[in-house]
Amino acid sequence: MVRVAHFYAYSHVQEVRKLNRGTAVSFAPTVSFRNAERIYLGSGTHIGEGSVIWAGNSTSRVILGEKCLLAPNVTITASNYGIVEGTPVMDQPKIEKDIVIGPGVWLGANVVVTAGVTIGAGAIVGAGAVVTRDLPANCIAGGVPARVIGHRPAAPGEQAPTVPAAAFDRAVAP
């Protein structure tokens, strides 16, 4: 019981207080946040069970636009370790880069998003994909590494879907 209380306080309660978030944001109690003062969650965003959202230790941010939908066990981390030979990986300086996820993005179960990636508004990333490079708006991507495999169809007689980005643009501004 003590171990559960410690985990809950460390990865959820203390960090949740530091989050910058819009209205009607929801997430499961098993979501893990780190360096939450550099995490921005747009209004209406939902984060599924067991997901991990980690900003960098010193500078990098994670920014999610409005109405993002993250399925269970999504991992988003805005830092990585160096890999220079001769020094243990955990002793190397971290490489930090912002992650920006546009409004209306859907990340399927077990998706991993790595440091420095931007995902355009309305993109859909299939379950199990590893996003290592930028993805354009309204694309459908999948695989390891994730690649564009299609584009969201427009409704009959309408233009391709777009998601208003005004609030997102405000969140990204320094």
Q: For residue 155, what pLDDT is reported?
A: 74
Stretch 36-46: mean pLDDT: 97
Q: How far apart are CA 36 and CA 106, in angstroms?
A: 21
Q: How far apart are CA 119 and CA 74, in angstroms?
A: 14
The answer to whether residue 158 scores a pLDDT higher than 70 is no
The answer to whether residue 146 scores a pLDDT higher than 80 is yes
Tell me the per-residue pLDDT of 87-100, one tens digit each, with 9 for 90 and over.
999 999 999 999 99
Tell me the per-residue pLDDT of 106-121, one tens digit each, with 9 for 90 and over.
999 999 999 999 999 9
Q: How far apart are CA 71 and CA 32, in angstroms?
A: 14
Q: Is 9 helix (H, G, I), strand (E, B) or coil?
A: helix
The answer to whether residue 170 scores a pLDDT higher than 90 is no
The answer to whether residue 130 scores a pLDDT higher than 90 is yes
Q: What is the mean pLDDT of the chain?
A: 88
The answer to whether residue 164 scores a pLDDT higher than 60 is no
Q: How far apart are CA 125 and CA 23, in angstroms?
A: 24
Residue with tokens 């409004």, as numbered in its chain:
103
Q: How confident is the model at residue 2 (pLDDT cuts 50, 70, 90)?
A: low
Q: For residue 167, what pLDDT is reported?
A: 46
pTM of the complete model: 0.84
Q: What is the dihedral of CA 60, 66, 72, 78, to 10 degrees?
A: -10
Residue % of the chain over a pLDDT of 90: 75
Domains with residue ranges and CATH for the chain: 2-172 (2.160.10.10)
